Structure 1
Amino acid sequence: MTTTPSTQPQRSAAAAPPPAPRFHYAWIIAAVSLLTLVGAAGFRSTPGLLMDPLHMEFGWSHGTISSAASVNLALYGLTSPFAAALMERFGIRPVLAGALTLIAVGSGLTVFMTASWQLILCWGVLVGLGTGSMAMAFVATVTDRWFAARRGVVTGVLTAAGSAGNLVFLPVLSWLITTYGWRAASLTVGACSLAVVPLVLLLLREHPADLGLAPYGATVPVPRPERTTGAGLRALRVLASAARTRPFWLLAGTFAICGATTNGLVGTHFVPAAGDHGMAETTASGLLALSGLFDVVGTIASGWLTDRFNPRRLLGTYYFLRGCSLAVLPLLFARTVHPSMLVFVIFYGLDWVATVPPTIAIARREYGADAPIVFGWVAAAHQVGAAVVAVAAGFLRDALGDYDPVWYAAGALCVAAAAGALALRERGPATPRTLRRRRA
């Protein structure tokens, strides 16, 4: 009796998923996102370089100029959660392209300003709204959509783009200001912003499902989520829900201190503080750029550590070490660069935004699918903290004649943030059931 060959192997072969491409398009998405974030960081750091030139040309006080930086930082944060919701509603590409255009308009118009309110409108409002649309919530959106594996590392790399932006732009813009004046730097920022728009429109894709792919590291494709309506209302609903939970306030409070002690204080006032001790602006901006170089290393390493260790303990360690470094900074300023200042720059750079990967990991663990928007609100707290300290430090400098009390207060705040991070409880991954229990 003859038997027919079994068709089981053919069925198995037919049912097997297509082999994954050797080079996943997620890495193209990460590369374009990295370039965009590098630019956003460079644009955001410019007001710190403009402080002394604007003071000399227009006679505006440090407090007045800091007000523009403060508005910029506040809007950078407050725009973030709404931008994340808008990306879900309209897509990543139109939101980013519009943001880059807004930055170009804001920076370009500054060359015509004659009053301080125009500085607040251009660098504060327009550039703040533009950079806020490319804030850390954008990082959370990209990593959630495109990566199932290596999320911590990719988050670290994209977060480090902020430091890379300082590394690229600070020396160049400082040289332009010294050689050609501050207007040349403003026009350069506008031109660089517009140059990124074609790359965003041509290369960015909204979701892996658009290309028939699974997220990087996933074994099965993830359906493209339906676009939601009422982006602003959704952002507010997510905030109302998260605000009923204790982890949200701990994350928001610690991240507010993070922003206060990085973008608000060091990013805005390090260069003029060094100038108070006779250090040249180009030298001080070079130190800040060097800090950005080590921040790239520190943030990527933090992403790697977040994939392997407890993010709560990582956060506590980062904040405590940052507080110690800020407390000794007033003793290190001098006319020339000494080895002790280089040690601070390297140490502080490694810690600058190393807090972001573990913070995103905790938000993802606590809030599941809502994590990008929740993190957008946490990032808003980061920038509100930065805004408050940016303007407060400027007025204190005008009143006291130096920045020393501000550095000591920032060190104490970081120790408080370390305690807040360690107060976060250990939990498992978020599910609809556990989320309902946590909000009850």
Structure 2
Amino acid sequence: MEAITGRSHRGHLGRLSHRALPPRRGILGHRAWWVAAVALLAIVVAGAFSTLPGLLAGPLRHEFGWSRGSIGLATSVNMVLYGLTAPFAAALMDRFGMRRVVVVALALIASGAALTSVMTTAWQFTLYWGALVGLGTGSTATAFGATVTQRWFVRRRGLVTGLLASGSVFGQMVFLPALSWIVDRHGWRPSLVTLVLAACTTVPLVWIVLRDHPADVGREPYGAAFQVPRPAPHYGAGRRALALLGDAARTRAFWLMAGAYAICGASTNGIMWTHFTPAAHDHGMPATTASSLLAAIGVFNVIGTVASGWATDRRDPRRLLSVFFALRGLLLMCLPMLMSATVEPPMVAFVIAFGLLDLATVPPVVALCREVYGDGGAVVFGWVGAAHQVGAALAAYGGGAARDAFGTYAPVWVTLGALCAAAALLSLLVRRASPAGRADGRRSTAVDRL
């Protein structure tokens, strides 16, 4: 089908990267950078919402007497919808445009948070926070960033992908201290109102600056030699997202990337953000200290993701993925030996190295999806991202079950380290597009059918 083969205007866009480029413009000289900046702002604000459930758990239990399971259900629904929404949101952006979809997503996020501030029952928390906020944040996930880079950039795609991918973590770092202070001093409802105001403030900026395609403002994509016509909208966004999944699922490349990315989710979100603090506490480290180490990992996430994007513009993304997974696996296998009651230099080195590698896998996977699936690359990446969330959910549950069974997290770290080694091998098995396929934007003939 056209969406997978890429026989569209974006095939024309693919040819541009192999022709003479215009003189370089500064960052302020091309609309693409302004579009990327506003997209980054929307991703940062949406990312801030993921920090709040951990801060709300205690106050909600105290005020309403809800169980941890009731509160956790809303968070689980949020995570599942976050993963499943991304491919459909990317398809909707092809149908209605990025600007409309992102504005609606921010409105959903703001509405869900506002309604959460007046809820009285646990099912309302699941509906408002789990469903509405989950749908909104999923629509502004990395698939949105992939769509921005695919439409607006020919050069510097990897770098911009890294910047946008780091936005969610950056939002957590920026808002977490302020939200924590607000919850401690003024209660949990003002913290929700703060996020609602942030989302509402972002909406007009998105509407004014964000554009769906360079042709809308009479410009060429950044790094292209000439303008590209605006494509016709893809009708039937839901059917297209499912059709792209069906087509991609018949290729070996999709399952290799989905498998590797599921391991990526298990070895980052699933285990580190859920079980690192209790694992460190098992060795006598205070929970506040362990949480501070996690925050430090988030700082280095931003550096590592941007650096990975820069490298993806210059190196084979398969090899980068393989190196990232191999190094992450070694770090996880060493972690049991680094745990102690105090923060020693080896643990500091682990925090820095793991932070640099944590989100570094995003730009190479986005690049591979774009190469292999052409016009449908952003949507396919959304489905690969859903596999990431599935892996994270399985690790979050399995890590706790293993701790109960063995009385220690050591087997968990070793198992995930071994899985990362497998992901490194899977990454190398993904076949890249041929030079001819990359030149005309079509899906590579090197993609093996199952």
Summarize the Cα distance change of 1:61–1:253 in structure 2 as closer, same or farther, 3 Å threshold: farther
Residues 60-117 of structure 1 show CA distances to partners (whole Å, capped at 9, x for unaligned) of: 5655544433322221111001000111111111111111121122223333445544
- Show the counterpart of 1:106: 112
- Show the counterpart of 2:97: 91
Which letter does structure 2 place at the counterpart of 1:362? L
Counterpart CA distance in 1 for 2:413 and 2:443 is 44
Q: Which runs of 5+ in 2 are unaligned?
A: 1-20
Question: Which sits farther off after the overlay, 121-130 or 78-87?
Answer: 121-130
TM-score for both structures, normalised by structure 2: 0.85
Residues 187-221 of structure 1 show CA distances to partners (whole Å, capped at 9, x for unaligned) of: 33223222211111111111111111000000010
Which letter does structure 2 place at the counterpart of 1:216? Y
Counterpart CA distance in 2 for 1:335 and 1:195 is 43
Residues 260-308 of structure 1 show CA distances to partners (whole Å, capped at 9, x for unaligned) of: 2222332344445556666566544433232122111111111111111
Answer yes or no: is 1:162 the counterpart of 2:177. no
Aligned equivalent of 2:258, options 241, 252, 255: 252
Alignment of 1:200-211 (within 5 A): 200-211=206-217
Q: CA deviation at 1:330?
A: 4.4
Counterpart CA distance in 1 for 2:276 and 2:330 is 17
Summarize the Cα distance change of 1:171–1:335 in structure 2 as closer, same or farther, 3 Å threshold: farther
Counterpart CA distance in 1 for 2:145 and 2:54 is 24
Cα pair 1:63 1:395 within 8 Å, conserved: no
Counterpart CA distance in 2 for 1:227 and 1:302 is 32
Larger radius of gyration: 1
Which letter does structure 2 place at the counterpart of 1:135? A
Summarize the Cα distance change of 1:325–1:434 in structure 2 as closer, same or farther, 3 Å threshold: closer
Counterpart CA distance in 1 for 2:307 and 2:51 is 23
Counterpart CA distance in 2 for 1:391 and 1:375 is 25
Task: Report the secondary structure of 1:205's partner residue.
Answer: coil
Cα pair 2:373 2:443 within 8 Å, conserved: no
Task: Report the secondary structure of 1:227's partner residue.
Answer: coil
- Show the counterpart of 2:4: none
Cα pair 2:368 2:432 within 8 Å, conserved: no
Aligned equivalent of 1:219, options 209, 215, 225: 225
Summarize the Cα distance change of 1:335–1:181 in structure 2 as closer, same or farther, 3 Å threshold: farther
- Show the counterpart of 2:126: 120
- Show the counterpart of 2:18: none
Answer yes or no: is 1:316 the counterpart of 2:335. no
- Show the counterpart of 1:146: 152
Answer yes or no: is 1:417 the counterpart of 2:433. no
Task: Report the secondary structure of 2:117's partner residue.
Answer: helix
Counterpart CA distance in 2 for 1:105 and 1:400 is 43
Count of paired positions: 424
Q: CA deviation at 1:174?
A: 2.9
Q: CA deviation at 1:394?
A: 5.3
Answer yes or no: is 1:33 the counterpart of 2:28. no
Task: Report the secondary structure of 2:224's partner residue.
Answer: coil
Q: CA deviation at 1:387?
A: 2.8
Aligned equivalent of 1:386, options 372, 385, 392: 392
Counterpart CA distance in 1 for 2:67 and 2:416 is 23
Summarize the Cα distance change of 1:412–1:172 in structure 2 as closer, same or farther, 3 Å threshold: farther
- Show the counterpart of 2:434: 428
Alignment of 1:7-18 (within 5 A): none
Cα pair 2:94 2:233 within 8 Å, conserved: yes
Which letter does structure 2 place at the counterpart of 1:315? L
Aligned equivalent of 1:237, options 234, 240, 243: 243
- Show the counterpart of 1:45: 51
Summarize the Cα distance change of 1:334–1:20 in structure 2 as closer, same or farther, 3 Å threshold: closer
Counterpart CA distance in 2 for 1:192 and 1:271 is 29
Q: CA deviation at 1:435?
A: 4.5
Counterpart CA distance in 2 for 1:328 and 1:21 is 46
Counterpart CA distance in 1 for 2:53 and 2:383 is 24
Residues 123-153 of structure 1 show CA distances to partners (whole Å, capped at 9, x for unaligned) of: 3222111110001111111001100111111
Task: Report the secondary structure of 1:224's partner residue.
Answer: coil
TM-score for both structures, normalised by structure 1: 0.86
Counterpart CA distance in 2 for 1:51 and 1:409 is 30
Counterpart CA distance in 1 for 2:411 and 2:142 is 30
Cα pair 1:48 1:267 within 8 Å, conserved: no
Summarize the Cα distance change of 1:187–1:277 in structure 2 as closer, same or farther, 3 Å threshold: farther
Task: Report the secondary structure of 1:223's partner residue.
Answer: coil
Q: What is the root-mean-square deviation in Å for CA atoms of aligned residues?
A: 2.9
Which letter does structure 2 place at the counterpart of 1:244? R
Answer yes or no: is 1:370 the counterpart of 2:376. yes
Answer yes or no: is 1:294 the counterpart of 2:296. no
Summarize the Cα distance change of 1:41–1:239 in structure 2 as closer, same or farther, 3 Å threshold: same
- Show the counterpart of 1:135: 141
Summarize the Cα distance change of 1:122–1:264 in structure 2 as closer, same or farther, 3 Å threshold: farther
Question: Which sits farther off after the overlay, 119-128 or 152-161?
Answer: 119-128
- Show the counterpart of 1:265: 271
Summarize the Cα distance change of 1:433–1:39 in structure 2 as closer, same or farther, 3 Å threshold: closer
Q: CA deviation at 1:246?
A: 0.1
- Show the counterpart of 2:367: 361
Cα pair 1:49 1:271 within 8 Å, conserved: no
Residues 24-51 of structure 1 show CA distances to partners (whole Å, capped at 9, x for unaligned) of: 0101001111111112222123324444
Summarize the Cα distance change of 1:62–1:410 in structure 2 as closer, same or farther, 3 Å threshold: farther
Cα pair 2:253 2:448 within 8 Å, conserved: no
Summarize the Cα distance change of 1:109–1:433 in structure 2 as closer, same or farther, 3 Å threshold: closer
Q: CA deviation at 1:370?
A: 1.3
Counterpart CA distance in 2 for 1:167 and 1:433 is 38
Which letter does structure 2 place at the counterpart of 1:88? D
Task: Report the secondary structure of 1:228's partner residue.
Answer: coil
Counterpart CA distance in 2 for 1:103 and 1:137 is 17
Counterpart CA distance in 2 for 1:266 and 1:329 is 11
- Show the counterpart of 2:9: none
Q: How many percent of aligned residue pairs carry the same amino acid?
A: 56
Task: Report the secondary structure of 2:194's partner residue.
Answer: helix
Which letter does structure 2 place at the counterpart of 1:223? P
Counterpart CA distance in 1 for 2:72 and 2:146 is 29
Cα pair 1:70 1:386 within 8 Å, conserved: no
